[in-house]
Amino acid sequence: MANNSEIKISVDLDNDKVPQKIEWLAADGGIVKPKEAKAFMLSIWDGNENTALRIDLWTKKMMVDEMNDFFFQTMMTMADTYGRATNHTALVGEMKKFAQDMKTKMETEMQKDQL
């Protein structure tokens, strides 16, 4: 018997179609009540078209420093996922170095913005 698992994402929009609230749940992952998020990125591989499809949304509550952390952590986990899928450890190292370099540059930009 085949199993089915669902991840549900709900987005409340304002009149200009800007996300005001993002909630998600994944009962099989232990998230049975809606949990609020400030942003999400979803990538889907379309094998028929050989292209990546994506949805990127964030609320007005998402601060720049949070976006920096979100991107850094996402790049690091993408590197880990790539490594598990391909066993290309040298490339994983390069991806993580790039992410670390970006984090340093993001921190520099944040310091400039505070001046």
Q: End of a domain among 19, 35, 60?
A: 60
In terms of residue numbers, what domain contains 13? 7-60
Question: What is the per-residue pLDDT across 15-52, written as a single tens digit (0 to 9) for each?
Answer: 999 999 999 999 999 999 999 999 999 999 999 999 99
Contact status, residue 13 vs residue 19, Cβ threshold 8 Å: yes
Tell me if 31 sits within 8 A of 25, measured CB to CB.
yes
Burial of 3 by CB count in 10 Å (0-12 exposed, 13-18 middle, 19+ buried)?
Answer: exposed
Look at residues 60, 76, 97 and tell me which one is the last residue of a structural domain. Answer: 60
Residue that has been written with the tokens 């720049």 in this structure:
64
Q: Is residue 91 part of a domain?
A: yes
Q: Structurally, how many domains does the chain consist of?
A: 2
Tell me: do 68 and 113 sit in the same domain.
yes
pLDDT band at 115, cuts 50/70/90? confident
Question: pTM of the prediction?
Answer: 0.88
